Amino acid sequence: MENKRERENRNFRGYYFPNNALIISIIAIFTALNFIATYWIQIPILATGGYINVGDIAVMFTALLFGPIIGGVAGGMGPMLADIFSPYIIYAPATLIIKGIEGFLIGLISNPRLYSGRISYRDILAVIVGGFLIPLGYFIYEAFILNLGVAIALVEIPGNFFQFIIAQGKILAHLCMPQKLYVSVRNE
């Protein structure tokens, strides 16, 4: 029988660590979803050797749905695998960290365990904060770790903001859609 201390060590703010088959399966499924979303559409940026993708939609969706642990792990691993299996392998370490932190922060701020079933200002704030991490993280990686220089790293910032805005618009549209559908069906 588990005591209180063992139960407290098994979770983070109510979210279980990946130590049972169900959580590991969910992580695997959403890692695959994140991989497919990132690998599916890739628009190359020649100046930096990077690319723009729609994978952030899946990262944000995973984090908003399951919280920081699954959002961080699946959000980091899926896009990293997409980088490894594409010509952009040099970005794999940065993608793991940046997208993992993005998924973790979105899940932590939105806290779907506490606010499940309803849209909260926290969801919108989470998507905005997590989304701003993308251009900032890749700028730091390209300018200072890859030593491409600040001028070349600045070339990719508009593309990363475009990626963030597309993902944010898609996620926020889906967050608002169920309530609009419910209201229109109820009024008929």
Per-residue pLDDT of the chain (188 residues; tens, 9 = 90+): 555 655 555 567 667 778 888 889 999 999 999 999 999 988 888 877 888 898 999 999 999 989 999 999 999 999 999 999 999 999 999 999 999 999 999 999 988 777 666 678 888 899 999 989 999 999 999 999 999 999 989 988 988 888 888 888 888 777 766 554 444 444 44
Is the Cβ–Cβ distance between 71 and 62 less than 8 Å? yes
pLDDT of residue 4: 63
Per-residue pLDDT of 110-123, as tens digits, reads: 887 776 666 788 88
Residue 57 is predicted with a pLDDT of 93
Q: What is the total count of domains within the chain?
A: 1
Q: What is the token pair recorded at 17?
A: 């660590």
Q: What is the DSSP string of 54-120?
A: SHHHHHHHHHHHH-HHHHHHHHHHHHHHHHHTSS-GGGHHHHHHHHHHHHHHHHHHH-TTTSTTS--
Q: State the CATH number of the domain containing residue 74.
A: 1.10.1760.20
Q: 66 lies in which domain range?
A: 4-187
Q: What 3-state DSSP class applies to 45? A: strand
